[in-house]
């Protein structure tokens, strides 16, 4: 039996996630507040009133900036107050709806990542008139998706490379236990039910250089794409889900594959 173990969202692309006990999902949307914000590089052209999909290289992200893994994020979604911690010490505090605080945030990342001040990143979001659940998500793919990862698959991968792999390395939204390793690939094109919600499994998740970063140390210690290809002949781990029927999803919910 497959059981949902973790629900995680990542409010700011590239930074640490928030563990949820439950979440409501709606058709045409990802998890609320997942990748709601991103830190655009200085030369990234983005229209916040009508944002469109851009590749991850346009933003601060682990694929290039592994030190981001060492920051712990605390964000109050109601008043948009952000706190960042480094080595358990507060290193930034400010509001994401305050222009002065946003300027300080840009300068903080310049200093933290050793970026020239003339190339300051800036926080971006969807400022369109869409309702919250339909706003743009700064995901790695163009689709509004929820990523699903099997702990059994990770265990099988660990056994092949004889190294421990923290599941947070893959930054999944839903992580589940039970079932057989790699069975989730056979779900592509099928529908699954988790809690009161239903999803279409529409795509395997191809892994990139971001997964080489250890989320605990901020160091590139395992070449995940290389090891996947070497041991399995592909670069994929996990699948993407599309919400087709909204509802509440909770930790401990069973995952049912619809035939």
Give the model's pLDDT for residue 245: 97
CA dihedral 10, 16, 20, 26 (to 10 degrees): 0
Give the model's pLDDT for residue 214: 97
254/145 same-domain check? yes
What integer is the mean pLDDT of 230-259? Answer: 96
* Residue 18 CB-density burial (10 A; 0-12 exposed, 13-18 middle, 19+ buried): middle
Q: How far apart are CA 83 and CA 183, in angstroms?
A: 39
Q: How far apart are CA 173 and CA 22, in angstroms?
A: 12
Q: How far apart are CA 94 and CA 79, in angstroms?
A: 10
Task: Specify if 223 maps to a domain.
Answer: yes
164/244 same-domain check? yes
The DSSP 8-state label assigned to residue 73 in this structure reads E
Give the model's pLDDT for residue 134: 87
Domain boundary among 130, 149, 164: 130
Domain boundary among 106, 130, 154: 130
17/112 same-domain check? no
122/147 same-domain check? no
Give the model's pLDDT for residue 172: 96
Binning pLDDT at 50, 70 and 90, where does residue 258 land? Answer: confident
74/108 same-domain check? yes
66/23 same-domain check? no
Q: How far apart are CA 189 and CA 78, in angstroms?
A: 37
Domain boundary among 108, 130, 152: 130
Q: What does the pLDDT look like over 44-88, one tens digit per residue?
A: 999 999 999 999 999 999 999 999 999 999 999 999 999 999 999
Task: Specify if 59 maps to a domain.
Answer: yes
125/219 same-domain check? no
The CATH number linked to 186 is 2.40.33.20
Task: Specify if 15 maps to a domain.
Answer: yes
Task: Specify if 135 maps to a domain.
Answer: no
Task: Specify if 73 maps to a domain.
Answer: yes
What integer is the mean pLDDT of 128-155? Answer: 95
| Total number of domains in the chain | 2
DSSP line for 98-156? -HHHHHHHHHHHHHHHT--GGG--EEEE--SSS-GGGS----SSSS--EEEEEHHHHHH
Write out the residue range of the structural domain in which residue 223 sits: 3-29+140-258
148/219 same-domain check? yes
Mean per-residue pLDDT over the chain, rounded: 97
């Amino acid at each position: 039996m497959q059981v949902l173990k973790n629900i995680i969202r990542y409010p700011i692309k590239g930074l640490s996630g928030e563990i949820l006990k439950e979440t409501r999902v709606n058709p045409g949307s990802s998890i609320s507040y997942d990748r709601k914000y991103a830190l655009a590089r200085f030369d990234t052209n983005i229209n916040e009133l009508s944002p469109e999909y851009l590749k991850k290289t346009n933003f601060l992200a682990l694929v290039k900036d592994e030190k981001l893994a060492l920051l712990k994020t605390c964000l109050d979604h109601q008043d948009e107050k952000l706190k960042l911690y480094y080595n358990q010490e507060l290193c930034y505090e400010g509001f994401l709806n305050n222009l002065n605080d946003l300027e300080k945030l840009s300068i903080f990342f310049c200093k933290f990542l050793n970026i020239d001040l003339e190339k300051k990143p800036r926080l971006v979001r969807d400022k369109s008139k869409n309702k919250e659940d339909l706003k743009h998500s700064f995901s790695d793919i163009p689709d509004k998706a929820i990523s699903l990862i099997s702990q059994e698959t990770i265990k099988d991968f660990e056994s092949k490379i004889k190294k421990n792999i923290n599941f947070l390395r893959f930054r999944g939204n839903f992580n589940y236990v039970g079932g057989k390793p790699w069975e989730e690939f056979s779900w592509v094109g099928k529908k699954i039910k988790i809690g009161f919600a239903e999803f279409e499994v529409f795509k395997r998740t191809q892994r990139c250089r971001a997964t080489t970063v250890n989320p605990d140390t901020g160091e590139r210690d395992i070449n995940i794409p290389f090891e996947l290809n070497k041991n399995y002949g592909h670069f994929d781990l996990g699948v993407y889900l599309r919400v087709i029927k909204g509802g509440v999803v909770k930790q401990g919910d069973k995952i049912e594959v619809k035939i």
